[in-house]
Structure 1
Amino acid sequence: MSRLPARKETRVLIIDDHTLFAESLELALSVEGYDAHRAEERASGTSAAAVLAAAVRMHPRIVLLDLDLGPSGDGARMISPLLAAGAQVVVVTACVDRARWGGCLRHGARQVVSKSRPLNEILSVVRRVSQGLPVIDHAERDRLIRLWFEQRRELEVLAERLRSLTNREREVLDHLMQGHTVREIAVTSVVSEATVRTQVKSILAKLEVSSQLAAVGMAHALQWRPPSSHAVAV
C-alpha cells in the first residue's frame, strides 16, 4: 500500500488575486504543517497562461484556485491543465453561481468551497484531499453538474437566437450595447430613425425579448461580440 505524503511533503499552491485572503490561507496551511505557497507575485495580474506556467513549475499536489482572477481571467480554465500537471484542484470562490460550480466539478475539481465559509472548513477539505478521502457527496456533485448542463443548454438556445441576426442587426445591437440611442445610430449609419427602429424591432423579435435593455442584457450574459467587420447595407 502506497504511503500518503506527510503534510510537510504536501505542497499546496494558492492561486487568488485577493492578497489578504491568499496570505491568510497560506499562513493557516503553513501552521497546519503543509508546504504552502501563494502563486508568484510577478505572475499575478498577468495572463492566465503566465499564472498557469508559474503554477506548474512549482509542482503542487493541491491547488486552491479562485475563479475570478481579475486581469488573469476565469480560473476555471486552469482546472484541466492543472490536473494534467498532476495537481488536485479545490476551487475556493466568492462566486455564488451554482451552475458555474458544477462546471468546475465537471472539469475535474475535487470540490468547490465558498469564501464565505469558515477557514476551518477549507482546511478540512485540504486535509481530506491530502488523505485521499472523498470531499463531496455524490448526489450533491451530480446536482451541481446537472445545473451546469441545464445552463449550457439554455445559453445555447440564446446563442442560436443571436446567430439568427443579420449583419446589419448585429451592428445595431453592438451600438445598443455601447449605450447609443436610436437617433445616434441613425446619424452614424446615415439612415433614418424609422429605419433603425425597424431594425431594433426585428432584433427584439428574433431574440424573443420585449425591450432594448433585455436584448443588451442577453448579449452581455453570453459575452457576445459582433463580427469584426460589418456589412454596410441596410
Structure 2
Amino acid sequence: MSNPDRAVSPSVLIVDDHELFSASVEMTLCNRGIHAVRAHSLEPSAVLDQATQLQPSLILLDLDLGRDAEGRPRDGVPLARDLTRSGWQVLLVTGSTERERIAEALAAGAAAWLSKSVPFDELIYTILDGFAGRPMMDAKERQELIAEYRALQAQQRATNQKLAQLTKRERQVLDALVAGKRAKVIAEESYVSIATVRSQIRSILAKLNVRSQLEAVALVKSLNR
C-alpha cells in the first residue's frame, strides 16, 4: 500500500519495455533534479514491490509491456488497476492506439494518458503538472473515454445475456455462420435438412433480436474485438 508519509521530493517509477524511451525519460528527469527509476522487472508483482519500496510520486506505465517468460503478452491494464488500488498515481504513456484499452485503464483509476508520439517536452511538462497537482489531461476527455468504455461494457453484457439464451445446437449453428459457412453447408456437415438449419437460424435471430444473419455475425464479432 502507498505510504502517506512518502518523501516530499518528487520521484518517478518508469514501467516500460522500451529501453531507449525509458532511459531517455529517466535521464531527462534526473537532469531536472527528479528522482527517476526504471522498473527492475516488468512482472506485476515485482512492479508493485518496487513501488512500495520507492514510494513514487508518479508511475509512468506503458500498456504493452513485452512478453513474459512463457511468451505471453504482458498487458498493462490489470497492472494499472492494481497500482491505482494501492494508491499510486499512474500516468499512461503508451504507443498503443487501442482506445478501448486506454479507456479501461482510465476507468480502473489511471489519472491520465499520453501518446508516445507527442513531443518529448510535452511528456516532461505533463509529468511536472502531475507533481504540481494539476490535471495531466483534459477532464472532459477523460470522462468521455470512461463513459464510452462503460457503455461498451454494458452493451457486451447485454449481448452475452442474449447469447446465453441459445441452445447448444443454436450456438453451434451461429459459430458456423461466424466462420462464413452457409446454411446448406451447415446442413450437410450436420446431416440434417436445410429446412432444419433455417429454422434454427430463425430462432437464433429472434433470440438475438436481429433481423439478418449478417447482424447476428456482427454481434458475435463485436465481443471479440
TM bucket (normalised to shorter chain) is: 0.7 to 0.9
Q: 1:3 to 1:39 in 2, by over 3 A?
A: closer
CA distance in 1, matches of 2:104, 2:26: 27
RMSD of aligned Cα (Å): 3.1
2:63 — aligned with what? Answer: 67
Q: Which runs of 5+ in 1 are unaligned?
A: 44-50, 225-234
* Alpha-carbon shift at residue 144 of structure 1 (Å): 2.8
Q: 1:26 to 1:183 in 2, by over 3 A?
A: farther
* Alpha-carbon shift at residue 211 of structure 1 (Å): 4.1
Question: What SS does the corresponding residue of 1:135 show, helix, strand or coil?
Answer: coil
* Alpha-carbon shift at residue 74 of structure 1 (Å): 4.0
Read off the aligned partner of 2:23 and give its amino acid letter: E
Superposition pairs for residues 28-177 of structure 1, below 5 Å? 28-33=25-30, 34-37=35-38, 40=41, 51-59=43-51, 61=56, 62-68=58-64, 71-72=72-73, 74-93=75-94, 94-97=96-99, 100-177=101-178
Percent of aligned positions that are identical: 32
* Alpha-carbon shift at residue 171 of structure 1 (Å): 1.7
Give CA-to-partner distance per residue, 1:136-195, whole Å, 9 cap, x none.
343333333322333233333323322222222112222333444434433443222332
Give CA-to-partner distance per residue, 1:181-226, whole Å, 9 cap, x none.
43443344322233223222332333233443432332132239xx
* Alpha-carbon shift at residue 109 of structure 1 (Å): 0.3
Q: 1:203 to 1:23 in 2, by over 3 A?
A: farther
Read off the aligned partner of 1:113 and give its amino acid letter: L
1:207 matched to 2:211? The reply is: no
Equivalenced residue count is 207
Give CA-to-partner distance per residue, 1:115-149, whole Å, 9 cap, x none.
33223222222222234433234333333332233
TM-score, with structure 2 as normaliser: 0.73
Contact 1:4 1:131 (8 Å CA) reproduced: no
Q: 1:163 to 1:57 in 2, by over 3 A?
A: same
Contact 2:84 2:108 (8 Å CA) reproduced: no
Read off the aligned partner of 1:4 and give its amino acid letter: V
Read off the aligned partner of 2:170 and give its amino acid letter: E
Question: What SS does the corresponding residue of 2:134 show, helix, strand or coil?
Answer: coil
- Out of 21, 24, 32, the position equivalent to 1:24 is 21
Read off the aligned partner of 2:194 and give its amino acid letter: E
Q: 1:223 to 1:27 in 2, by over 3 A?
A: same
Structure 1 residue runs of 4 or more that deviate by more than 6 Å after TM superposition: none
- Out of 4, 12, 15, the position equivalent to 2:8 is 4
TM-score, with structure 1 as normaliser: 0.71
Q: Which runs of 5+ in 2 are unaligned?
A: 67-71
* Alpha-carbon shift at residue 108 of structure 1 (Å): 1.0
